[in-house]
Structure 1
Amino acid sequence: MKKFIWNIRPIGLPLVLRYCKKCGKKAEFICSGQFRVNAQRKYLDIWLIYKCTKCDTTWNAAVYSRVSPQTLSTGLLERFYSNDERLARQYAVDFQFLKGNGAEALLPSYAVSGDIPVSGEMSEVEVQSEYPFPVKVSALVRDKLCLSQKDYQQLVAEGKIRDSSGRDMRKCRLKKGTVLIFE
C-alpha cells in the first residue's frame, strides 16, 4: 500500500462575523495580528485585536482575562508583548477560541499540497493540518481530485474512499487531521 501525505494550509486568516457598533450591523472583522496586554494590579488581561473591514472599528477577542502573570511562562508573555506573528495566527485560526468570544469565523481559502493516489491502486492518504481546521473532508477530497459531488458520493458508496477510523465520509470534518484509504 502506497502512502501519501496531504498538507492543508490556510491562505490568509479567517474573517470573523460579529456586530459592529459603528456600522450598526453584522460586519466582517479581520485579525490585526496584534495583542493588547493590560495590567490591573496583580492580574493581566490579554486580547487579540480585530478590525472591521469597512470602518476600522476595533474589537478585542479575549485571550486571557484576569490571569496572574506568574501562571504564564516568561516566553509566552514575551510573545504577547512583542505581538508574535505565529502566536497571533494560532489564535486567529482557532475556531473554538473565536466561538468562545461570540464571533462566527468564516472558513478561509486553503491550499492542499501533496501527490494524488493512482486510481485503482490501494493507497493511504494522511491529511494533516497545523491548525484545527473545520473544513469537511468531502470538500477537501473533491477539490484535490477534481470530483463532482455525484462522483464523490458514488466512490464513497462503493467503498473506494473511506476514513480509516470509520467516520462518515459525507459529514466528517478535518479538525487537525485524518487518514483516508483509497482503493
Structure 2
Amino acid sequence: MQVTWTVSPVGYQRIAKRCPACNVKRDFLPAGAFRMNSQKKRLDIWSIYKCTHCDYTWNISLFSRLPVSRINPVLYRRIMANDEATLEYFSHDDQILKRNNAVLSGSPAFHVREQWSAGHLCNKRLKVCIRLRCAFQVSLLSVIKKQLFLSASEIKRRVITGEIAGVTLKELKSTKRQTASVVIWVSAGVFYSGRKI
C-alpha cells in the first residue's frame, strides 16, 4: 500500500529585508500587483513587495529585458490582471528568489492532498511518499503532524522506535527548501491511530 502526500503552500512566502522606512529588518510580502516597464520591444517585469509594518515597497525582478515575442500570452494576461495565483507562484519561485538575493522568513501555511494506490490492505507498514508541489520552507515534522494527528514529541518517539522509518530526527526538523520527494515508512498502527476510519 502506498500513500502520496502532495504538499502545496497556501499564501505567499515572506522575505526578510531591512526596511528603510522602519529602519529595522522587517518581513515583506507581495503587495498584490506586478509592475511592468516596456522599452521598444523589451519588457522589464517586477513583483511589488510591501513591508508588513508600513507601506514601504520593494520590487523583485521577474524578467529583465525580455523580448515581447518571448513572453507566453497567457502569462502576460495574468501579469496584466495582477492574477493572485501568479503572484503566489512567483513568491515561491526558487530561481527568482535566489537571483534577487531574497532572505526567506518563516514558513507559509500548507495544504496536503492525500492519494492512495491500490495494494494489499493487510500490510504492517505503509510506504508514504511526501512530495512538495514547489520549493518552499516546510518541515517534514509539520507535514507528518498534520497528516497523522500526532504531537511532535510522539512523532520523534515513533522515529526512535522505528515505527516511522526512512527519516532522521535532524531531517524531520529541517525547513530546507527542496522539491525532491521523500519516502518514509509508517507502521499501520501509527498511521491509523489518529484517523477516524
Both structures adopt the same fold (TM-score exceeding 0.5): yes
Q: How big is each residue's C-alpha offset from its partner over 1:22-77, in whole Å with a ceiling of 9 and x where there is no partner?
A: 11121111112211110123321100111111111111110011111122222222
The 5-angstrom pairing of residues 118-129 of structure 1 reads: 121-129=124-132
**Distance in 2 separating the partners of 1:110 and 1:58:** 26
**CA spacing shift, 1:137–1:174, aligned 2, 3 Å:** farther
Compare the two structures and name the one with the higher helix fraction.
2
TM-score of the pair, normalised by structure 2: 0.73
* CA shift for structure 1 position 96: 4.5
Aligned residues of 1:99 and 1:105 also touching (Cα < 8 A):
no
Matches of 2:152 and 2:93, distance apart in 1: 29
Show the counterpart of 2:144: 141
Amino acid at match of 2:40: R
Q: Determine if contact 2:128/2:184 at 8 Å carries over to the other structure.
A: yes
Partner AA of 1:128 in structure 2? R
- Counterparts of residues 172-183 of structure 1 (less than 5 Å): 173=176, 175-176=178-179, 177-183=181-187
Partner of residue 132 from structure 1, selected from 132, 135, 139: 135
SS of residue matched to 1:140: helix
Residue pair 2:108, 2:138 contacting (<8 A) in 1 also: no
**Residue type at the aligned position of 1:179:** V
SS in 1 for 2:61: strand
What is the Cα-based RMSD across aligned positions, in Å?
2.8
CA contact (8 A) 1:135 1:175 kept: no
What TM-score results when the alignment is normalised by the length of structure 1? 0.78
Give SS of 2:136's match: strand
> Relative to structure 1, is the Cα distance of residues 113 and 147 closer, same or farther in structure 2, using a 3 angstrom cutoff?
farther
Q: CA contact under 8 A between 1:36 and 1:48: conserved in structure 2?
A: yes
Counterpart Cα distance in 1 of 2:93 and 2:165:
27
1:103 aligns with 2:96: no
Does the 8 Å contact 1:95/1:105 carry over to 2?
A: no
Equivalent residue of 1:105, what SS? strand
**Could you tell me which residue of structure 1 aligns to residue 170 of structure 2?**
170
> Please, which runs of 5 or more residues in structure 2 have no aligned partner?
116-120, 188-197
Distance in 2 between the 1:19 and 1:40 partners? 31
Distance in 1, matches of 2:27 and 2:137, equals 19
2:70 is the counterpart of 1:67: no
How many residue pairs align between the two structures?
175
* Displacement after TM superposition at 1:111 (Å): 3.9
**What fraction of aligned residue pairs are identical, expressed as a percent?**
29
- Distance between the aligned counterparts of 1:174 and 1:141, measured in 2? 17
Separation of aligned partners in 2, 1:15 and 1:174: 14
- Structure 1: stretches of 5+ with no match in the other structure: none
Secondary structure in 2 matching 1:133:
coil
